[in-house]
Amino acid sequence: MPGGRSLEVEERDGVLSLTLNRPDKLNALNRELFSQLMEALDRAAGGARAVLITGSGRAFCVGQDLAEVDPRGRSEPPDLGRTLTETYNPLVRRIRALPLPVVCAVQGVAAGAGANLAFACDLVLAARSARFLQAFDRIGLVPDSGGTFTLPRTVGWARAMGWVLTGEALSAERAEAWGLIWKAVEDDHLLGEAETWAAQLAEGPTRAYAATKQAMAAAAAQSLDRQLDLERDLQDALGRSPDYAEGVAAFMEKRKPRFTGGH
Ligand code: LHQ
């Protein structure tokens, strides 16, 4: 597995755990961290059945490493469009398209693209003391990493605009109340609870989770009619899967299912 200084990678019992590991820079995203993240996620679909993303130290992630895109002392301004094309956009697409559930455990600050990266994950837990900041306005930028897509759809126009325009910090409890995260948990329980969920998902019907992600993502862009057709097609395929056979058998036999995620 890829490893290294900026990203800790560990795979155990079907869970691929990725820990952003630049605590002295509050896990700011630089090129090295991006390439390690992409490489790890590319390999995830090969064997893991769930992914857990967290950060080390006192922050989850503060978004872009601004030292890498500092306009001072350059003859040309930094090419932020290229940065998005080569790093953030592929990362968000990769997480959303990954046919595995992605759990995210947020501790401390999640700022800028760090916050929106968390919101791109499938099951987001945050420590009660965590806080979310959009932060883009502070440096004259637009919310990226899918923020302008996710926020108005998730929390509504008024809250989305209020949040990004005021630059207010959002507590974990408020993020939960707004539906941005699944759950705020006691600080001491964050990692343990996230690991428990990831382990449970890794034992679940992996193909059904992949289809669920696909259907949920498609719903943002299509009519009920087309969505009903998609659900039919996905259900048709899943009805032929070993996990469906096992799930129904386990129900009938009043026992716990043993899902394999197989085809
Ligand atoms: C940092 C950073 C950081 C580098 C703290 N970079 N070092 C996409 C494409 C291209 C370009 C631009 O952006 C994007 C998307 C984005 O993500 S834009 C948003 C970028 N993020 C921010 O603007 C947040 C900047 N950080 C902060 O405002 C503060 O650090 C917060 C409020 C998050 C935390 O404040 P404190 O708890 O007071 O910590 P600190 O500021 O003292 O930071 C600790 C260290 O981390 C410090 O380093 P140093 O060597 O001085 O101890 C900071 O420089 C470093 N750091 N954020 N984004």
| Residue written as token pair 């922050």 | 59
Q: Is the CB of 66 under 6 A from ligand 1?
A: yes
- Look at residue 2 in the predicted model and tell me its pLDDT: 44
DSSP β-bridge partners for residue 61: 110
pTM score of the predicted model: 0.96
Q: What distance in Å separates the CA atoms of residue 221 and residue 249, rounded to the nearest whole number? A: 36
pLDDT tens readout for residues 153-195 = 999 999 999 999 999 999 999 999 999 999 999 999 999 999 9
How many A from CA of 214 to the centre of ligand 1?
Answer: 33
Q: Is the CB of 109 under 6 A from ligand 1?
A: yes
Q: Label residue 263 by pLDDT band (50, 70, 90).
A: confident
- Look at residue 3 in the predicted model and tell me its pLDDT: 45
Any residues with CB less than 8 A from the CB of 240 and at least 6 apart, and which?
none
Q: Roughly how many angstroms between the first and final C-alpha of the chain, as a whole number?
A: 25
- The pick from 34, 56, 66, 70 for probing ligand 1's pocket by mutation, whose C-beta has the most ligand atoms within 8 angstroms, reads 66
Atom of ligand 1 nearest to the CA of 80: 10
Q: Is the CB of 169 under 6 A from ligand 1?
A: no
DSSP β-bridge partners for residue 196: none
- Look at residue 223 in the predicted model and tell me its pLDDT: 96
* Positions of E strands within 95-145: 102-106, 109-111, 123-127, 131-133
Nearest to 210 by CA among 246, 261, 251: 261
Q: Label residue 4 by pLDDT band (50, 70, 90).
A: low
Task: Decide if pLDDT at 46 tops 90.
Answer: no
Atom of ligand 1 nearest to the CA of 69: 11
Q: Is the CB of 209 under 6 A from ligand 1?
A: no
- Look at residue 218 in the predicted model and tell me its pLDDT: 96
Q: Is the CB of 241 under 6 A from ligand 1?
A: no
Any residues with CB less than 8 A from the CB of 49 and at least 6 apart, and which?
14, 15, 100, 201, 202, 203, 204, 206, 261
